[in-house]
Structure 1
Amino acid sequence: MSVLLAHHEVRACIVRLARGEDRRDGRVVSSSFWPDAIVDFGIFAGSFDDYLAWVVPGSPAVLVTQHLLGQTHIELDGNTALAETHVTAYHRVDIGTEERDTVLGGRYLDRLEERDGQWRIAERTMLYDWSRDEGVSVDWSQGLMGTPFSGDHFTGKATGDHSEIFFGTGPFAIQK
């Protein structure tokens, strides 16, 4: 496999995982990790199976997440790749009395392996660089800046998000 193609496949795996986590889609998350992978987020560490049970369906108190990926530095050595990807993650959290928005920045350190022509994560560690509590969440039931939405599909959801309908199960669906 060419270096350019390997870089593309590594980055595609990392992007696919972020989407799977945001949509709480176990099939997509699973397609990004090897079954024997290990993960360490500081607040959770364990096997891939334990991680999958933790992230899907996810905490009911975390109503919405969005992971924005920045640059990825990739170093290849045969069928192993080391990657550092900057991430800014948004979380809407229900604390019982109100919903609050929190944003954090950090980096994923991933060791990926190519097996049978497919790149997946074998080990992931999360590094945290900053965190910020943005306060009480916006009430989307009122629309955007006082103008009502014309439908209920315009705001993001962890599951049942309109993007799942948009991509569907056809040729544009995320593949394993």
Structure 2
Amino acid sequence: MDAALEALLDREAIRDCIGRLARGEDRRDPGMISAAYWPDAETDYGVFKGDFATYLAWVVPGADAISNTQHGLGQSVIEIQGDQARVETQVSAYHRIDMGDGDRDICIGGRYLDRLEKRNDAWRIAHRLMLYDWYQDWGQSIDWTQGVMGMAFSAGHYTGRSIGDHSETFFSIAGTR
């Protein structure tokens, strides 16, 4: 295979790994998260540091106080050296958190510093470190029972949740069409 094409395919596989991990964490899906990490991987989020098995048990099912998360990924700088890659990815992570006095919307901005390894033609994370650049408490969360912008929703599936939202149905029927 042409080296330039192989490098392009490797970069896309790395981006796909990081993107699917974000979705897996938002949906608290252990299969998607596990597919992004090597079993011997290590993670360090500052608030959690440990091996992959311990991380998976921590992030799934996640804290009961966090009903929604959304990790918006920005650009990734990818440096590949053989079967290893060092990747910095910008992230804005939204969390709806029950702080004891009602739900609050919190957003954290930072960067993932990932070391990925290619084993058996698959790229996965071997080590992740989170750097925090900013934090914002947006205040009281919206009451979705009232709809949005003064307009009621026509059905209950429009609001997102970490577990059991409409995206699960959306992806489960995607393969049947």
TM-score > 0.5 by shorter chain: yes
Match of 2:13 in 1: 9
Q: TM-score, normalised by structure 2?
A: 0.95
Q: Structure 1 length as normaliser, TM-score?
A: 0.95
Identity %: 56
**Bigger helix fraction:** 2
2:78 pairs with 1:74: yes
Instruction: Please report how far the alpha carbon of residue 96 of structure 1 lies from its aligned counterpart in structure 2 after TM superposition.
Output: 1.9
Give the match for residue 93 of structure 2.
Answer: 89
Q: How far has the Cα of 1:101 moved from its partner?
A: 0.5
Going from structure 1 to structure 2, the CA distance change for 1:101 and 1:7 (only over 3 Å counts) comes to same
1:136 aligns with 2:153: no
Aligned-CA RMSD value: 1.1
Cα distance in 1 between the residues matched to 2:79 and 2:14: 10
**Which residue does 1:116 correspond to in 2?**
120
Task: Return the offset for 1:83.
Answer: 0.3
SS of aligned partner of 2:175: coil
Aligned mates of 1:97, 1:88 — CA distance in 2: 24
> C-alpha separation between the residues in 1 aligned to 2:39 and 2:101?
39
Instruction: Map Cα deviations across residues 46-105 of structure 1 (whole Å, 9 max, x no partner).
Output: 000010001000000011000000000000001101000000010000012210000010
Amino acid at match of 1:40: D
**Structure 2: tracts of 5 or more residues without a match:** none
What is the distance in 2 between the residues matched to 1:169 and 1:45?
A: 36
- Is there any run of 5+ residues in structure 1 with no aligned partner, and where? none
Cα offset for 1:171?
3.0
**Pick aligned residue for 1:50 from 32, 51, 54:** 54
Aligned to 2:67: 63
More relative contact order, 1 or 2 (CA 8 Å, 6+ apart): 1
Q: How many residues align?
A: 172
Looking at structure 1, the residues matched to 165 and 29 of structure 2 have their Cα atoms a distance apart, in angstroms, of 11
